Structure 1
Amino acid sequence: MLDKSSAVPLYAQLAEKLKEKILRGEWKDGEKIPPEFELMEKYGVSRATVRAAIDTLVAEGFLVKRHGIGTFVRKFRPTFSFEPLISLNYALETFGFVSKNVVLKKGYLKVDENLSCDARWKAVQECFLVKRLRYVDEFPIVVEESYFHPEIAKAIENEDLTKSLAKVFFESLKHIEIARIEQIIEPCTQKEAEDHVQGLIDTDTFLKMSRWIYVKDHTEPVYYLLLFMRADLSRLRG
């Protein structure tokens, strides 16, 4: 069942449950998934929660909707998927990869006009940055920059920042309620990524992910993540 006391939205928890079924082969490629009312009954959630979870997996490429027929497991899926709301570690482990994080930079910095725009901040003057390089099977594959609102940073700045930052965030801030999470994944070129990647990853194409986490009683995001991952991860194992 889902944890209704968790700060993680129910639709996000449900999306993870359904994704696990796909990744473990319980729901086969091309198979029609159970109807909404069955999922509502099984997980004890509303129709809106079920639809939001399904829409999340459709956006990620795990499911496809066929008008008037139903929702099906998509036959072609990316060889790698982002863990959308909790942790990238789970997805990596699911595919059998061994990963580690190296902290390249951490500390407070002034928020300039560009960062203010990207992070959707209007009044924030200073934030806490954690920049990391992630290795998979000893290959550098991800550069991630996590920007934390100063009101949130105090709770996480002394934690082990080589762990999943999303989990550190949720576990250190159990008292707050997540209002919503927005995420965009898009391809980008080496040139577009260069200012952030700075030659750390040897590839021509990247996937860029931007994520904003909003909490209750805050109109602006408290956590902005900018992540660049090599788009040819599957080639590492030839």
Structure 2
Amino acid sequence: MSSALTRLAPAPTGAELALEDVRLGHADGTTVLTAAELRIAPGELLAVVGPSGCGKSTLLRTLAGLLPALGGRVTQDGEPIGGPAADRALVFQHDALLPWRTVRANVELPLAIRRVPRAERRRSAAEWLDRVGLAEHARKLPHQLSGGQRQRVQLARALAGRPRAVLMDEPFGALDAHTRAEMQDLLVDILRGTGATVVFVTHDVDEALHLGDRVALLPSGRVLDVPHPRQRDARREPATAELRRRILASL
């Protein structure tokens, strides 16, 4: 690991996110989730699973401030979420990189929007590209990278702005099994020490059990503790196997 990493700024405190008697849905008034109650602790990684159409992506967009709740309260640190904010980053399944910008320029983008000085943007982008193993690809365009590499760029871009909450919508869903496992391990490694609160939507139960401190089941809203989060061999443990069975049964 490069010595440049030692210059990373101190980790921010993770945000507390909460839903109180919330009704979630679309702008046309269509409801997808009712009476939602959820509290996500600062620094926690909450995995969210559920069948298609149950409101997983709607939940993320509401927490991001992109979609207002149809009822109830959605808060960050006790204050209502009224719109997007720089300290909440959203990571999509498709990388959403700007094809005309280099890898480095894509990572710099959220900092440029916030008018961070150029030298500081360059330093931060270089550090995060180093962390995701793409330092030598900084001058390339997105089409010159593999799918896994593009997701690494998206992750670097999301974290370069030092968000207090990272909202991830099936970010590894389009990757092959080997690359997906690599990205899961990379995420675990990178999040260590960031202080960020993470809400990670996935349809993969094993991914949820590997990454999550807890797993939220939609549409019921039930939240279950994970016995051994972020340990690959934990799937063989009886407690983890039983939790996996319960989650699959709920789906």
Please report the TM-score for the alignment, with normalisation by the length of structure 2.
Answer: 0.28
Q: TM-score, normalised by structure 1?
A: 0.29
Task: Give the helix-richer structure, 1 or 2.
Answer: 2
